[in-house]
């Protein structure tokens, strides 16, 4: 069913899940606004009459959050507080046939590649001329740049390829165009994302082209930082480390999810890599880029993970001394090949192992951070909270990493400015400091 008078619709777009979903939401907004539809991102005012929810279907907790959000707005529709409710994104892609029956209040469900169909519900067209433009929901000075969609890997625990399909790289020309547009709107930091960054180019150029892309993006006027997220370790393209070492605009930061360290678990996870290979990558990274900061994520409680496997993982974390670590608990996802295995690690043990690993990392993080005290670091300021201006160094990504706090009673910086900050204090996950020089890029 179509909405009656389209111009009067006021749409509230809700985004759940990761930065890749956020970029999809930004594209939805760009297309809607390009079609003269009034749309806002996550507003709490009640003057919107249509809600679109962009869902996540990654693991149990994410699915639960998406379902609860849909139910909350289904109630709003039943109560007459909104007129229409549409759901898109990963959860919808994966379960729309079942959910359609379960939650009839939702007017329609769309998969991740069905933006034209969603627009049609508003009598709007998908405008190809808007590709490369993007309404940003992040602070003006940074933006996520999604360089590919989908994933062609077959990690046994991961449901993402079921929802997002195979890896499809965007062309370098398209990405440079979009990044130039973002830079013209004030973006200083580009955060490169995709399900699997290091595969970039193999499908369309028949060779890995991430380093070339980094180099091309760094030539764009206004871009000061380029940051890499989600590098897959198997067949890691070492040339990206050379580009990082030689190119001042590429942050000395690498997010490379290793997932585990026990060779038995890595094999069952179908990661195509051993602990020894992973160590070689880390050693090479530190050799080529001496002050590189490495972020990784691990998955604990995978089927068959024994105490011994977990010990191997703890030992790996202690030896490698990563700068940033995230830990997920295994979620038994139907449709994945690990679903054939028995989910035999009890929930309490998964929680305990996740906590143990984070405790190990907490001590490492504190020691790493203490080394910065007395040094001066370049900081990009994201926001003001209470009395403090809050920013990040090149070693920190938004939302997931450390922050640098500067006392707003003593110093003034503008949000989106760079400044040199002398670090005076360190805790496990934050630094504090004093501004010594405001950057000329302010």
CB of 39 to ligand SF4, least distance (A): 29
Smallest separation (angstroms) from ligand SF4 to the CB of 2: 36
> Residues in the chain, how many?
442
Q: Minimum CB separation from ligand SF4 for residue 336, in Å?
A: 9
Kindly tell me the burial class for residue 49, based on how many C-beta atoms sit within 10 Å of its own C-beta (0-12, 13-18, 19 or more): middle
User: Minimum CB separation from ligand SF4 for residue 160, in Å?
Assistant: 4
Stretch of residues binding ligand SF4 (CB under 6 A), selected from 15-23, 157-165, 290-298, 365-373: 157-165
How far separated are the first and last CA of the chain, in Å rounded?
A: 49
Between the alpha carbon of residue 192 and those of residues 94, 147, 214, 263, the distances in Å are 25, 7, 9, 29
Q: Which is nearer to ligand SF4, 161 or 416 (by Cβ)?
A: 161
- The residue among 200 and 225 lying less far from ligand SF4, judged by its C-beta, is 200
Q: Which is nearer to ligand SF4, 49 or 263 (CB)?
A: 263
- Rank residues 166 and 425 by Cβ distance to ligand SF4 and give the closer one: 166
* Among residues 85, 155, 251, 313, the one that binds ligand SF4 under rule CB under 6 A: 155
Closest of 232, 215, 188 to residue 392, by C-alpha: 188
Q: Of 160, 175, 278, 431, which one interacts with ligand SF4 (CB under 6 A)?
A: 160
- Per-position b or e across 217-252, b if 16+ CB within 10 A of its CB: bbebeebbbbbbbbbbbbebbeebbebbeebebbbb
CA-nearest of 88, 136, 140, 90 to 115 is: 88
Residue 206 CB partners (closer than 8 Å, separation 6+): none
Q: Which is nearer to ligand SF4, 26 or 196 (CB)?
A: 196
Q: Does 158 bind ligand SF4 (CB under 6 A)?
A: yes
188: closest CA among 41, 398, 16, 389?
398
| Rounded least distance, CB 194 to ligand SF4, Å | 9
Which of 24, 26, 196, 333 forms a contact with ligand SF4 (CB under 6 A)? 196
**Shortest separation between residue 52's beta carbon and ligand SF4, angstroms:** 25
User: With CB under 6 A as the contact rule, which of the stretches 56-64, 155-163, 204-212, 417-425 interacts with ligand SF4?
Assistant: 155-163
Closest separation between CB of residue 325 and ligand SF4, Å? 16
303: Cβ contacts below 8 Å, ≥ 6 apart: 268, 330, 332, 338, 341, 342, 343, 344, 345
> Between 165 and 222, whose beta carbon lies closer to ligand SF4?
165
| Contacts with ligand SF4, 93-132, as mask; x by CB under 6 A | ----------------------------------------
Q: Which two tokens stand for residue 237?
A: 């393209």
Nearer to ligand SF4, 59 or 379 (CB): 59
**Nearest approach, Cβ of residue 74 and ligand SF4 (Å):** 30
Rule CB under 6 A: say whether 193 interacts with ligand SF4: no
Pinpoint the alpha helices (H) of 35-133. 60-78, 90-102, 115-120
Residue 217 within binding range of ligand SF4, rule CB under 6 A:
no
228 to each of 89, 378, 394, how far by Cα in Å? 24, 18, 11
Q: How many CB atoms lie within 10 A of CB 413?
A: 21
H helices of 233-382, where? 239-246, 263-268, 275-288, 307-320, 347-370
| Sole window of 102-110, 156-164, 324-332, 344-352 interacting with ligand SF4 (rule: CB under 6 A) | 156-164
Provide, rounded to whole angstroms, the least separation between the CB of residue 267 and ligand SF4: 14
Task: Select from 12, 195, 218, 329 the one that contacts ligand SF4 (CB under 6 A).
Answer: 195
SS3 320: helix
Site string for ligand SF4, 135-154 (x = CB under 6 A): ----------------x-x-
Tokens of 218: 């760094």
Tell me: does residue 161 bind ligand SF4 (CB under 6 A). Answer: yes
Residues that bind ligand SF4 (rule: CB under 6 A) add up to a total of: 9
d(CA 13, CA 22): 11
Binds ligand SF4 (CB under 6 A): choice among 232, 316, 381, 395: 232
Residue 213 is a binding residue for ligand SF4 (CB under 6 A): no
Q: What gap in Å lies between CA 440 and CA 353, rounded to an integer?
A: 46
Q: Is there a contact between 233 and 277 (Cβ–Cβ < 8 Å)? A: yes
- Closest CB 232 distance from ligand SF4, rounded Å: 5
Footprint of ligand SF4 on this chain (CB under 6 A)?
151, 153, 155, 158, 160-161, 195-196, 232
């Amino acid at each position: 069913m179509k909405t009656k008078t389209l111009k009067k619709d006021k749409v509230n777009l809700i985004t759940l899940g990761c930065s890749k979903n956020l970029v999809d939401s930004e594209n939805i907004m760009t297309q809607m606004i390009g079609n003269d539809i009034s749309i806002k991102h996550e507003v709490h005012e009640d003057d919107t009459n249509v809600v679109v929810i962009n869902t996540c279907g990654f693991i149990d907790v994410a699915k639960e959050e998406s379902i609860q959000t849909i139910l909350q707005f289904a109630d709003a529709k039943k109560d007459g507080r909104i007129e229409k409710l549409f759901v898109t994104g990963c959860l919808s892609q994966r379960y729309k046939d079942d959910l359609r029956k379960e939650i009839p209040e939702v007017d329609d469900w769309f998969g991740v590649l069905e933006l034209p169909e969603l627009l049609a519900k508003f009598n709007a067209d998908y405008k190809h001329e808007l590709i490369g433009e993007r309404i940003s929901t992040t602070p003006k000075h940074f933006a996520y740049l999604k360089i590919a969609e989908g994933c062609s890997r077959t990690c046994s625990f991961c449901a993402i390829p079921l929802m997002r399909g195979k890896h499809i790289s965007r062309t370098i020309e398209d990405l440079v165009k979009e990044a130039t547009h973002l830079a013209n709107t004030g973006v200083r930091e580009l955060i490169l994302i995709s399900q699997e960054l290091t595969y970039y180019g193999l499908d369309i150029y028949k060779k890995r082209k991430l380093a070339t892309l980094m180099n091309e993006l760094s030539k764009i006027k206004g871009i000061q930082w380029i940051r890499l997220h989600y590098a897959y370790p198997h067949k890691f393209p070492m040339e990206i480390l050379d580009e990082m070492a030689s190119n001042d605009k590429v942050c000395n930061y690498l997010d490379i999810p290793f997932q585990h360290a026990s060779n038995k678990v890595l094999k069952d996870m179908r990661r195509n890599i051993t602990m020894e290979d992973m160590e070689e990558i880390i050693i090479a990274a530190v050799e080529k880029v001496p002050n590189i900061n490495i972020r990784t994520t691990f998955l604990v409680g995978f089927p068959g993970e024994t105490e011994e496997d977990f010990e191997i993982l703890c030992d790996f974390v202690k030896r490698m001394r990563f700068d940033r670590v995230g830990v997920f608990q295994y979620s038994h996802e139907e449709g994945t090949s690990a679903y054939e295995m028995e989910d035999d690690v009890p929930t309490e043990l998964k929680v305990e192992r996740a906590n143990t690993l984070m405790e190990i990392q907490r001590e490492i993080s504190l020691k790493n951070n203490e080394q910065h005290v007395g040094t001066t670091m370049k900081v990009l300021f994201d926001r003001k909270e209470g009395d403090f201006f809050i920013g990040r160094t090149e070693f920190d990504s938004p939302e997931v990493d450390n922050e640098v706090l500067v006392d707003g009673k003593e110093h003034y910086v503008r949000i989106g400015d760079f400044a040199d900050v002398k670090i005076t204090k360190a805790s496990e996950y934050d630094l504090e400091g004093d501004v010594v020089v405001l950057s000329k890029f302010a």
